Amino acid sequence: MTVTGVRTWPNVAEWTGRIYSEGWRTAEGGILRVIEPATGEPLAEVGAAAPADVERAGARAARAASGWAATTTSERVDVLTRAARALREHSGAVREWIVRESGGVPAKGDYEIAAGLGQLQHAVGLASQPLGEVLTPQVPGGTSLAWRVPLGVVGVITPWNAPLLFAMRALAPALGLGNAALLKPDPLTPVSGGVLVAQLFREAGLPEGVLHVLPGDVETGRAVAADRHVTMVSFTGSTEAGREVARVAGEGLKRVSLELGGKNSIVVLEDADVEAAAAAGAISSFGYQGQACVAAGRHVVHADVVEAYTEALIRQAKALRIGDPRDDGVVIGPVISERQAARIERIVDESVAAGARLLAGGTRAGLFYPPTVLDRVDRTMPAFTEEIFGPVAPVIPFRTVDQAVEVANDTAYGLTAAVHSRSVPRATAVAQRLRTGMIHINDVSAKDAANAPFGGMGVSGNASRIGGTASLEQFTQWRWMTAPGPL
């Protein structure tokens, strides 16, 4: 297949129809065809990894893991540094692939590149952290030491909405701490979430066998989670899929890190800067078409300012240009698939039929779903109860802080939230009452940082975190050693 209109990096002829497992090789699962959401045209073909491919890759990764773990910290740091350099050098091509494959605008591509670089840079520092401690010996004159060692082979299963970032968020610390990895990118974004990642680490000089990239469907992911050589699984995706990954990995008593869905609230108190809050709300609900676990799915606004806030939100929604993300001025591109578009449409239509009022948007054209604002949303409606994963902003008024907290916490999810008030101490007091793993004051709900422990409560995860020093805990395990005398 000839890929048209996309930059020539990486060499299309080398990877088309193949998986990356000790070089580019033919997959037993056949071919996975990638469609460009904005045009509906074929964009690329990659290899589809079958369970047999996963089994072979797991065995090879296990053999390579011991040698990689035995390298010095400086050698691993050099690889991460060169990978970051390669990402900078190829940023134009990487951006174009993200735009074409995921339907995000160029600014979304730039964000993923910058965040991916941040993950690589933070992993450099993480690899140099102290890995152990000297313990008080039980025998006088003896030695007692404890230190962290790599897990071995880490399985990384990533979603389509931020494919490069989510791959780097797990791979950078996992590789930097001495693990090998099997990466299973989503079948909707196997190039920007897999092929590009393989090529970046290949150019960085990562030894063959340490990283395997295995695009595929649910069966491929299940094979990664179940593989006997995989000792830990890092999964980002829906709560439903996360439960299945946990079940499969649990059979092998593997460590599992789950970063799952969210039904996140922006709480706007009566003393908030309404225009600033509405701008943050618009970014949180409409950015990348709302296709983020950290998107705002509820706008919980004090009754005294709800009319002004809603009017400002409607203005924001109507001002956003929709279209092919490659066109100048476009802010809202297509959603990722027909399945996703139909889901958004169902949630909005059922909520309106149940009594919600449609104030902006609400009518799609193919995969293009406009920024949508709803009010008169009650707790029985799908717009309130379900994670929408689309550019929809349900507005719910409240009278007392207790009511606001109750509405925001009325969900099994607990990922992130934001609180807006001109009084930071007051906003902080409300934030402390919200059952979320992350909380932001006078800001968007959708934030990420390489040095922060990212993750949620409830069904938004399994209490695991990735980022900052939490990655040290995720991707290593303790070893204790004693001796009757000094070493």
Please list the active-site residues. 259, 293
Show Cβ contacts of residue 307 under 8 Å, excluding neighbours closer than 6 positions.
none
Distance CA 231, CA 223 (A): 13
User: Strands 296-302 and 211-213: what pairing?
Assistant: unpaired
The answer to whether the CB of 418 falls within 8 A of the CB of 439 is yes
> What is the per-residue burial (b if ≥16 Cβ within 10 Å, else e) of 288-316?
bbbbbbbbbbbbbbbeebbeebbebbbeb
- As beta bridge partners, residue 332 has 322
Distance CA 305, CA 420 (A): 12
- Give the three-state DSSP class for 300: strand
Instruction: Report how far apart, in Å, the C-alpha atoms of 361 and of each of 86, 310, 323, 372 are.
Output: 41, 14, 14, 4
User: How many residues does the structure list for the chain?
Assistant: 487
* CA angle 327–333–337, rounded 5-degree value: 135
Distance CA 155, CA 182 (A): 5
Q: Which class for 25: exposed (0-12), middle (13-18), buried (19 or more C-beta within 10 A)?
A: middle
* CA angle 268–272–273, rounded 5-degree value: 120
DSSP per position, 204-254: TTPPTTSEEE----HHHHHHHHH-TTEEEEEEES-HHHHHHHHHHHHHTT-
Distance CA 328, CA 479 (A): 55
The answer to whether the CB of 475 falls within 8 A of the CB of 454 is no
Distance CA 54, CA 34 (A): 21
Distance CA 44, CA 190 (A): 9
Distance CA 398, CA 267 (A): 10
Distance CA 233, CA 163 (A): 17
The answer to whether the CB of 369 falls within 8 A of the CB of 360 is no
Tokens of 451: 């040095």
DSSP secondary-structure letter at 40? -
Distance CA 94, CA 110 (A): 9
